[in-house]
Chain A
C-alpha cells in the first residue's frame, strides 16, 4: 500500500483550474518531486496534502486513511515552507520544539529531540540564537529541523532550496538527500528547477496547467519524455519540426535532411517533432551525416557546447566531450543514430 495516495483530485480558484483530475502515489521512504513551471498547480497539490486547501473533488489518503475533513493540525504530515515561516519571536530551540510541545512531549524528551535535530542539520550550539541572527542557509536548516521534529511520516518541502545561492544550493541538495535517506521519511518536494528534481528525487511528477504530464524516475523522464512539453522542460533539447515518411522503413524529414528512424508508429506524412538531446548528436569531421557549420563554441569544463548551423536560420545544440578539436566556421558532419531522441506526433 502506498503511503500517500491522491486520487482524481481537482481544484479550481474561481475561473482558474489549479488541479485537473490529478492522481499519484508516494511510497514509504520515497523521495518524490513535483516539477513544473510556476502556476502549474504543484503548490496547490502540496497544500491539498497538508490540509490548507480542500479538493473540489477526488480524495487524499495517507496510509489508507482518508484525510477529508482533517484540519492541518490533525494531519501527521509536516511542511517546510518556501519562505521558511520561522517564528520570529522564538529562538532556534523553541522554533524546533514548537511541534513537539503541541504533541505534549515532556521537557526531557523535547530537550533530547531538539538536540538530535540540531545535530542532524549541523546547527549544534545554535539553539539560543534568534532567527534574525541567522544566515539564509541556517534559516533553511532550522526550517527543515522544525518540520522534521514531530517525526512526520511524510514531509512536504515547498521549493526548499529556492532562496539559497547556487553554491549553497548544490551543497544543501546533498545534505537533504542524505538526511532523507537516513531518516527513511517520505519527502515530497515541490520545485520548478529540473536539475534539483533530477538530482534529488526517486520519482518525478512533471506537471503542467493543473495536469500531470508524466510520472517516472529521473532517467525515464529524461530519456523517454512522454510529451513534447516534458522533453522541453526537463533538460536541454533540440526540438526539430518536420514530418514522417514511411517509404523504405521509417524516416523523419527535417528541414535540413532525412533522418532514419529505428521504429516509428506514425503514419506517412504525419507532422511530428523530434526531440534530440545535445549529447545524442555525434559530431564528426567527415563521413556520412548531416552537413553543418560550427557557429559557436562554449567551453563548459567537462563538456563543450557547440552550435552547429544545419540550414538557413536553423542550428542544433550539440554537447561533446572533445569539442575543443573544432574551430569556428569549420564544416562538420552530424551523426544522429536511428534510435536517438523521441518523436512526438504534432496536432494537425
Chain B
C-alpha cells in the first residue's frame, strides 16, 4: 500500500455507492419532496397542493411556478397554538417515557450483564419476546388492561385498594405507559451491550482502591455505560416523539401529540403543505441537538490534552 492512492475498480465503486444510493433514494429524495410540499399551497386538486411541476412546463413555466412557492405554511404553523402545544406535549411525553424507561431498563440490563454467561442469551430472548406478537395487538391489550372496567381496576377494587376505578385509559399517563411498554427493549439492548462489555476487573480495581459498592456504581459502572445510555435514549426518544399509534389508541382527547396532529392535517384536513411543514420542523427539532452533541463529542475526542 505504498505510493499514491490506489484507483478503485468499478466493482469496488459500485459496492461503495450502494449505501449512498440507498440513502438518496429512500431518505434524501422523500425528504426533498416533503420540503417542496411544505413550500406549496393547499388546493382543491389531486394531489391537494399547488404548484405541481411537470416536464411539459418548459424552463419559463417551471420558473413561474417556482415563484409561487413560499413559507406560508410555516407562518401559519407559527400562528397556530395547536402546533406549539403538540410539539411540547410530544417532547414532554417522550421525555418522561424515556426517563422512566431508563430507570426500569438499567437495573434489568445490569442483572442481565452480570448473569451467568449461559443464561444471558435466554434473558435477551425473553426481553425481545414481545416482538413475536403484533405491536398493534399488544397496544390494544393495554386498552383492556387500563380502561375503567379493565383488568387492573377490577383487580385493585377486588382487593379493596381503591373504591372507584382509576381513570388511566385515555390520558397522557396511558400514552406514557404504552410507550414505555412498547419501546423498553430498544432501551434495554444498548444498555445491556454497554454493560456486558465492561471489564469486571475495573469494578474490582475500584473496590480495591476503597470504593464502596455504591461508589463503584457511580464512579465506574455508570460513567462507563454512558454510550449505551445515550444510544438507548436516542433510540426510544426519537420515535416516541413522532409516535402516532399509541397516542391514538391509548390517549384521550387532550393528548395532542405531533404524530396525531400530522395525521389530522394530512388525512382529515387534506392540508398537505401544513403537515409537511410540521414534519420538517419536527425533523429539525430532533436532528439539530443530535448534530450539536455529535460535534461536541468529536471535538472532545480530538482534543490532544
Contact = CB atoms under 8 A, between A and B. Distances in A.
B204 A130 contact: no
Contact of B208 (A50, A88, A103): A50
Contacts of A81: 201, 204-205
A82 to B, nearest CB: 8
Interface in A42-83: 50-52, 71-73, 77-79, 81, 83
B202 interface: yes
Nearest to A127: B305
B52 interface: no
B305 A99 contact: no
Given A87-B202, A89-B223, A130-B305, A71 B207 contact: yes
A187 B21 CA distance: 62
Nearest to B205: A85
B211 A78 contact: no
A98 B208 CA distance: 10
Contacts of A79: 204-205, 208
A328 B214 CA distance: 69
B305 A146 contact: no
Contacts of A304: none
B155 to A, nearest CB: 42
A99 B199 contact: no
B202 A85 contact: yes
Contacts of A91: 305
A87 B204 contact: no
A150 B202 contact: no
Contact of A85 (B204, B210, B212, B219): B204
Contact of A150 (B201, B205, B210, B212): B210
A1 interface: no
B207 A72 contact: yes
A71 B207 CA distance: 8
A16 interface: no
A121 B253 CA distance: 68
A285 interface: no
Contacts of A133: 305
B215 interface: yes
A181 interface: no
B207 A73 contact: yes
Contacts of B226: 89
A73 B212 contact: yes
Given A73-B212, A85-B201, A87-B220, A98 B305 contact: no
Given A52-B204, A129-B305, A130-B305, A102 B199 contact: no
Contact of B209 (A88, A89, A99, A129): A99
Given A81-B201, A87-B202, A130-B305, A102 B224 contact: no
Interface residues of A, number: 29
Nearest to B226: A89
Given A83-B201, A87-B202, A87-B220, A73 B305 contact: no
A128 B211 CA distance: 22
A26 B219 CA distance: 33
Interface in A86-102: 86-89, 91, 98-99, 102
A50 B205 CA distance: 10
A98 B209 contact: yes
A91 B201 CA distance: 18
Interface string B261-305: 000000000000000000000000000000000000000000001
B305 A72 contact: no
B206 interface: yes
Contacts of B202: 85, 87
B204 A72 contact: yes
Interface string A99-114: 1001100000000000
Interface in B189-240: 199, 201-202, 204-213, 215, 219-220, 223-224, 226
Nearest to B209: A99
Nearest to B215: A102
Contacts of A130: 305
B196 to A, nearest CB: 16
Interface of A: 50-52, 71-73, 77-79, 81, 83, 85-89, 91, 98-99, 102-103, 128-130, 133, 146-147, 149-150
**A-B pairs with the 3 shortest C-beta distances?**
A102-B210, A99-B209, A85-B205
23 contacts: A50-B208, A51-B208, A72-B207, A72-B208, A73-B207, A73-B211, A73-B215, A85-B201, A85-B202, A85-B205, A87-B205, A88-B224, A98-B211, A98-B219, A99-B210, A102-B209, A102-B211, A102-B215, A128-B305, A129-B305, A130-B305, A149-B209, A150-B210
